[in-house]
Amino acid sequence: MARCFVTRDLPGSALERLRAAHDVDLWPDRLPPPPDVLRERAAQADGLLCLLTDAIDAGLIAACPDLIAISNLAVGVNNVDLAAATARGIPVGYTPDVLTESTADLTFALILAIARRLPEGMEAVRDGSWITWEPAFLLGRDVGGATLGIVGMGRIGHAVAQRAEGFAMTVVQSSRSGGMPLGDLLELADFVSIHCPLTPGTRDLIGAEQLRLMKPTAYLINTARGGIVNQPALITALREGWIAGAALDVTDPEPLPADDPLLDAPNLIVLPHVGSATHATRERMAGLAVDNLLAALAGDAMPHRYPPPPAG
């Protein structure tokens, strides 16, 4: 029976399966374990089930002599030092595919909300500034028939494109697998939606130069990772009207401090990273994370190890 440290409680019954096979040390708080506590508890574990909010760096991995498996409850693994884990022969698991539909749903919800100024409308009802029907009150932009530019045409990008078909949108894309150059997409699109992974090559992919290429009537949507968009540049773009608005489910850092200047930028929606936050999706993610850990601790291959094997 192995020792497992789990850095947060999980929805559904997946943890019960892990407890049935191994000793489980569960961090009970809503907030992540502080770095010193994470290192102390992980140092006693054979298996680690962590979240994207946990920094699993080379120092932590070196401090865990018995660690033989890391299972990350996320579709990305940018919080894990993959080189350090690989050097130790520690497999890293992740939870792909299951959050595609829920994240695509949220992406389209953000497109509609920012284009039709829904948060402002809700506030107008609550604060009493809506006093009559007016022809020019809270005018937004049409989504139907607009051009949607998708940056990163993986599973989630494809799912967003499928939803766009129902709105008769023209979809263009830019990704490693093809499509048009990013600059051309930015100049053309009415809505730019980010769906690429955060890597050294995509950090600050959308900066001042790229934001200046966008139409002043265009909107930026990011449900991928906050670090893909340069936030100081985005603040400037919103304040100076380079773009019409932005809707973010991800930021850098997460959560944003209450006094972060991004929160004072106009024409902006910021959500607390809820792209996969449905009951069904989070329970499936928990199940995959536990499956990965159980397999590795049994000496078997993780069903969802990162990086995934090449196609074909």
Question: Whole-angstrom Cα distance, residue 59 to residue 240?
Answer: 42
191-194 β-sheet, strand order: 178-179, 170-175, 147-151, 191-194, 219-222, 245-248, 268-270
Catalytic, out of 39, 195, 225, 284? 225
Cβ-contact 42, 4 below 8 angstroms: no
Give catalytic status of residue 254 as yes or no. Answer: yes
Residue 16 is a catalytic residue: no
Rounded to the nearest angstrom, the gap between the alpha carbon of residue 223 and the centroid of all alpha carbons in its chain is 5
| Nearest of 50, 155, 61, 59 to residue 101 by alpha carbon | 155
Specify whether the CB–CB gap between 183 and 160 falls below 8 A: no
Strands 92-93 and 47-51: unpaired
Distance CA 268, CA 245 (A): 6
Q: Are the C-beta atoms of 148 and 161 separated by less than 8 Å?
A: yes
Residue from 187, 194, 172 nearest 111 by CA: 194
For residue 140, give the nearest of 111, 107, 167 by alpha carbon: 111
Radius of gyration of the chain from Cα atoms? Answer: 21
Check 41, 163, 195, 273 and give the catalytic one: 273
Please give the structure tokens belonging to residue 211.
Answer: 């934001």
Q: 221, 249 in Cβ contact below 8 A? A: no
Q: Is 225 part of the annotated catalytic residue set? A: yes
Catalytic, out of 40, 123, 209, 254: 254
- Residue 182: Cβ-neighbour burial (10 angstroms; 0-12, 13-18, 19+): middle
Which active-site residues does the annotation give? Answer: 225, 254, 273
